[in-house]
Each structure stands twice: as C-alpha cells, then as structure tokens.
C-alpha cells in the first residue's frame, strides 16, 4: 500500500462526505445542543420565577447575618448546665425509638414490598393496590403520625416509636419493592429451570441480590431516624427532642448547642457502625482468576 500509513482517522476523513450522506442521523450536534440549551433555559426560567414568587432576597440574608453571628456566639461554649445525665438518658431513648421504629417498619415493609414488586406479583391489581397503600401511608409525614399517636397512646416514647414505624413502613416498602424490581432475572430463570417453585425462585433468585441493598437502606433509615426522632420529641413523643424544644423556647442556647453536639456524636457512631455492617453484608468479592 502506498501513501500514508492507513488509519481509521485517515479512512474517515477521506470518506467524510459519503458517510455524512449515508448516515445523516448520526451526524451533527445542532439538535442536541439546541435541546440542551432549551433545557438550561427552562430550568433557569423556572428557578427565577420560583425565587421571585418566594421573595428570595440576598439583601435579607446579608442583613440577617449579624443576628446569626449573635446567635452563634450565645451558643458558646456548649454546656450541659449539670443536666448531662438527663440528656444522655434522653439520647438513649431517642436511639431506642429510632431502632425499634426502624426495625418494626422494616419487618412490616419486607414482606409487603414483595407484593408491590411487579416482577414478583405479575397481577396488576395486587401490586397496584399494594403500591397505593404504601403511597397513602407515606403521604402522611412522620410529624403528623407523631401528633396522631400522641393523641391515641398519650405522650412519651411509645408514640414516637409508632410514628416512625408507620411512616417508614411506607418509605421502606417503596424502596424495597424498587430494589426487588431492578433485580436481575437470570438467577430467577436458573432456579425456575431446575424446578423451583415461585416461592423458591424469590427466596434464592431474588433475595440474595436485594439483601445488601435492603440492609443498607435499613441502616441508613436507622441513622436518619435518630435525627428525625429529635423532631418527633418536639411534639411530645419522647426522647432528646423534648429537651431540645424546651431549651430553644427559653433561649438557653448553650444547652441547645450541647444537645446538638450529642446528637451529632450519636449519628456519627451509628454511621461508623453501619458502614462496617454494610461491608459485611455486601461481602468481599473473590480475587479475579487469570
């Protein structure tokens, strides 16, 4: 062969006109660029409108910054004011509420999520119905559930536990069923082909795939609930939130910052532990062979 060394680039450049004529759909960025620009413009316009409608004002943030500084100064130094043991006990209560609440929500959501998964229950009425049940439960916020249960079982941590169990049943049920739906079908076919029943297909084809995801979601919800359990406490459903609400009301900001730090420490500990647990759940992959 004469001339320059053959390369795909040289081939392409020499043949450019014919290629562009033969595959017009494959060339040109104009449509894609126009689409991207339009999208950016639409997002920009909507953001602008929402800011205008919600009275967004940088000036107000700037003028308020001084007060924020005052507030922050009043928080220093954090101090328990001699109530450390009471606070610690309440923090324990909060963690207990979050743990039991998440556990019962997960235990309820786990079987229910299979009903809501399209690939497990092909019957449209069953999985559609199960989905709507989850929607309705999830539609009511944890805080509303807490108010509801406080009026049913009275003030205290039990109401908080029930509130978390209810609202997270909806949330976890949805997340679990979505994890189940994205599961690979091939292992299920493998079990079915060797004569496994529907139940066995789910047990051995689906479950091993989704268990790490579901476990990770439960652990995250435990951590997140430790934080939201403090808010539930504000409406009287027990835990450290009760103290937090009280100290904010009397502007005892040193105690507030102390309580916040305690919650932060608890959440960090939970995060560290759950990271370990999740790694154990996912398991280490074997080294690839040659």
The site for other proteins (CB under 8 A) is made up of 5-9, 11-13, 15-16, 19-20, 22-23, 25-29, 32-33, 36, 287-290
The least distance separating other proteins from the CB of residue 119, rounded to whole angstroms, comes to 17
Give least dist CB 167 to other proteins, A. Answer: 33
Closer residue to other proteins (CB): 24 or 82: 24
Residues whose CB falls within 8 Å of the CB of residue 48, separated by 6 or more in sequence, listed in order: none
Q: Please give the distance of CA 202 from its chain centroid, rounded to a whole number.
A: 25
| Residue number, 30 or 67, with CB nearest to other proteins | 30
CB of 22 to other proteins, least distance (A): 8
- What are the structure tokens assigned to 39, written together? 């999208």
**Minimum gap (Å) between residue 29 Cβ and other proteins:** 4
Residue 82 or 290: the one with the smaller Cβ distance to other proteins is 290
Q: Is 231 helix (H, G, I), strand (E, B) or coil?
A: helix
List the helix and strand counts (H, then E) for the chain.
13, 0
Contact residues for 189 (Cβ-Cβ < 8 A; gap 6+) = 205
DSSP 259-277: HHHHHHHHHHHHHHHHHHH
- Token readout for 170 is 């909806």
> How many whole angstroms separate alpha carbon 196 and alpha carbon 241?
50
Measured from the CB atom, the residue of 17 and 62 that comes closer to other proteins is 17
Nearer to other proteins, 23 or 52 (CB): 23
CB of residue 178 to other proteins, shortest distance in Å: 17
- Minimum CB distance to other proteins smaller for 2 or for 9: 9
Tokens of 81: 């004011």
Q: Are the C-beta atoms of 222 and 168 separated by less than 8 Å?
A: no
For residue 20, the minimal CB distance to other proteins (Å) is 7
């Amino acid at each position: 062969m004469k001339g320059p060394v053959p390369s795909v680039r040289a081939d392409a450049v020499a043949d450019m006109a014919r290629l562009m004529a033969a595959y017009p759909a494959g060339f040109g960025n104009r449509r894609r660029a126009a689409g991207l620009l339009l999208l950016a413009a639409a997002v920009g316009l909507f953001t602008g409108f929402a800011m205008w409608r919600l009275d967004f004002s940088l000036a107000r943030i700037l003028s308020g910054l001084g007060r924020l500084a005052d507030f922050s100064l009043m928080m220093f130094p954090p101090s328990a004011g001699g109530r450390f043991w009471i606070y610690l006990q309440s923090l324990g209560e909060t963690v207990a509420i979050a743990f039991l609440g998440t556990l019962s929500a997960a235990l309820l959501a786990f079987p229910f999520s299979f009903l809501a998964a399209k690939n497990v229950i092909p019957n449209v009425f069953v999985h559609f119905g199960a989905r709507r049940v989850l929607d309705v439960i999830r539609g009511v916020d944890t805080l509303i559930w807490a108010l509801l249960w406080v009026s049913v079982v009275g003030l205290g941590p039990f109401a908080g536990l029930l509130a978390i169990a209810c609202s997270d049943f909806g949330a976890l049920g949805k997340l679990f069923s979505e994890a189940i739906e994205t599961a690979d079908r091939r292992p299920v076919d493998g079990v079915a082909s060797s004569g496994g029943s529907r139940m066995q297909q789910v047990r051995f084809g689906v479950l091993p795939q989704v268990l790490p995801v579901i476990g990770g979601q439960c652990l995250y919800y435990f951590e997140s609930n430790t934080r939201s359990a403090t808010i539930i406490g504000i409406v009287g459903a027990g835990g450290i939130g009760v103290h937090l609400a009280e100290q904010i009301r009397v502007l005892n900001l040193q105690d507030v910052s102390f309580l916040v730090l305690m919650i932060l420490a608890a959440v960090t500990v939970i995060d560290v532990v759950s990271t370990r647990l999740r790694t154990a759940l996912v398991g280490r992959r074997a080294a690839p062979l040659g």
